[in-house]
Amino acid sequence: MALWDRIKDSAQSMQSQLIAKKNDLKSGAFRDASMAMCALVAAADGSVDPSERQRVAQLIMSNEVLQNFPADDLRRRFENYLDKLTADFDFGKVSLMQEIGKVKKKPTEARAVIQIGIVIGGADGDFDKTEQAIVREVCFALDIAPAEFDL
């Protein structure tokens, strides 16, 4: 199977798993951790061009699981997290990882945040090495083996 097909299948599988857990994913900590994950994946290569920012924002708005939250609120949080990363990537990353760490004690939410990162990263068909590295780093921060997600 071609890499493109594996990425697409993995992202679709993750999205299906997320939808199945939608009713368990309504906390503010999950919302914030998800938006932090989206920002980290979008900025994984160290920069975020306007088209990438817009594409990820559209993916967030159309994600069925994230529809538990007001779209304007999600967009504002995503933009704020991206602003932190563009102002000072390393310092912003520390702040966002702390936000993500708040779901560590809730395994369903923690795994869902990782799955959202994979869905966002793979949505353009190119879940590149920098995006995978960020998602792996989040796995370690949440004490979840990256191998669970084929990372």
Provide DSSP, 44-93. TTS---HHHHHHHHHHHHH-TGGGGS-HHHHHHHHHHHHHHHHH-HHHHH
Write the DSSP symbol of residue 149: G
Structure-token pair, residue 102: 């708040």
Closest CA to 111 of 134, 151, 136, 139: 139
Domain-located, residue 116:
yes
- Whether residue 9 lies inside any domain: the answer is no
- pLDDT confidence of residue 91: 95
Q: What range defines the domain where residue 62 resides?
A: 27-146
Q: Residue 145 burial by CB count (10 A; 0-12/13-18/19+): exposed, middle or buried?
A: exposed
- What is the C-alpha separation between 2 and 19, in angstroms, rounded? 26
**Residue 139 domain-assigned (yes or no):** yes
User: Is 15 part of any domain?
Assistant: no
Give a yes or no: residue 62 inside a domain: yes
Who contacts 143 (Cβ-Cβ below 8 Å, separation ≥6)? 104
How many residues make up the chain in this entry? 151
- Residue 33 counted as domain residue: yes
Whether 35 is covered by a domain: the verdict is yes
Gap between the Cα atoms of 39 and 122, Å rounded: 14
How many separate domains does the chain show?
1
Q: What tens digit of pLDDT does each residue of 63-75 get?
A: 888 888 999 999 9
CATH of the domain at 91: 1.10.3680.10
pTM of the model: 0.86
**Is 113:100 a contact under the CB 8 Å cutoff?**
yes
pLDDT tens-place values along the chain, 151 residues long: 444 455 456 556 666 666 657 667 889 999 999 999 999 999 988 878 787 788 888 888 888 888 889 999 999 999 999 999 999 999 999 999 999 999 999 999 999 999 999 888 887 777 889 999 999 999 999 999 999 888 8
Rounded Cα distance between 26 and 13, Å, is 21
Tell whether 2 is covered by a domain.
no
